[in-house]
Amino acid sequence: MIELNNLGMSYALESGKLNVLKGVEVFIGDGETIAIVGPSGSGKTTLIITAVWF
């Protein structure tokens, strides 16, 4: 089982903070297979990396 609650990721910029993920909620049950799809630059890799880090 994987559960993510209120997952977020931001980058610090000189002009302020850039939120790239905000308030993401995910539940993947045991034995479930999922696909993360979307256009280039939509945050797929950021979502996976952030979920694995924390």
Q: What is the pLDDT along the chain (54 residues), one digit of tens a residue?
A: 999 999 999 999 999 999 999 999 999 999 999 999 999 999 999 999 999 886
- In this prediction the pTM is 0.75
The string of pLDDT tens digits covering residues 13-28 is 999 999 999 999 999 9
Helix, strand, coil shares of the chain as percentages rounded to 5? 20, 45, 35
According to the model, what pLDDT value does residue 53 have?
84
9, 46 contact by CB (below 8 A): yes
The amino acid at residue 16 is G
